[in-house]
Chains A and B, each alone.
Chain A
Amino acid sequence: MKYKNQLAFEIPSRSVNEALARSVVACFAAQLDPTMDELGDIKTAVSEAVTNCIVHAYPDTIGKIFVRCKILPDNVLDIVVKDKGRGIEDVAQARMPMYTTGGDERSGMGFTIMESFMHELKVTSKPEKGTTVHMKRKILKRGGKT
């Protein structure tokens, strides 16, 4: 698909980088002139995806998290968050609200929030190979701008 702009970056799976990833994607999304609400939704979804990599993909090591954003035609923000970590045995089960393998420090709501806050969410994974989270959000055009 033709894209108007893109950004790709790679970060180690350190929790301090959760805020960094949110900020970087928010900065990239700014060119679409999103509302505060839309920006909040995007930052939240990115935060959930990156946190999943840190907590679940690489529980005992520091691995690489790859993030790629694209601006697609019709004001669509396309975000991929990918890791080469532990992988998910049963993606459908993982996506169920409140389901977590992360102990009682986690709420199990990550995927649910990504689904609620983005317009499209696709999760593919293979045990021991890694997980790819692909999400899209259309940013509504506001008066005056083309």
Chain B
Amino acid sequence: MTTFLQDKQLTIALTGEIDHHGARSVLKMIADKIDQYLPTVCVLDMKAVSFMDSSGIAIVIHTYRRMTERQGILRLKQVPAQPRKVLEAAGMERLVTIEGRSPVYEI
């Protein structure tokens, strides 16, 4: 899980499978980074997320709340097809901007 900060924009790259087993540590890591850097924009880069279930929804909701508490925004970037489907089933596109993955990655 890599993070980088530029001009108050914090980008966190999530990787692998996001399910209940791994969710708690991902949630804590994101929360710690937000508390540490106090960004105005948080971007979750999901390019390397191979699978996500509703545990990922909880992560998005928590992160969204943490950012809006600080008048900040949350964006999801490069979301692959399966996680995107789960996010849309939960209506997350009404809360956060969800940007898809470029077709060149779909091989």
Contact = CB atoms under 8 A, between A and B. Distances in A.
Interface of A: 15-16, 18-19, 22, 36-37, 40-41, 43-44, 47-48, 51, 54-55, 97, 104-107, 109-110, 112-113, 116-117
Given A15-B20, A19-B17, A105-B58, 17 more contacts: A18-B21, A19-B19, A22-B51, A36-B81, A37-B85, A40-B81, A43-B51, A47-B19, A51-B54, A51-B55, A106-B54, A106-B58, A109-B54, A109-B90, A112-B90, A113-B86, A113-B90
Interface residues of B, number: 21
B28 to A, nearest CB: 11
A47 B53 contact: yes
- Chain A facing B: main interface SS: helix
B14 interface: no
Contacts of B27: 105
B54 A40 contact: no
B20 A51 contact: yes
A37 B107 CA distance: 13
B8 interface: no
Contacts of A43: 51, 82
A113 B21 contact: no
Nearest to B61: A107
Given A40-B82, A41-B85, A44-B82, A107 B21 contact: no
B5 interface: no
Contacts of B23: 105
B53 A113 contact: yes
Interface string B41-80: 0000000000101110110011000000000000000000
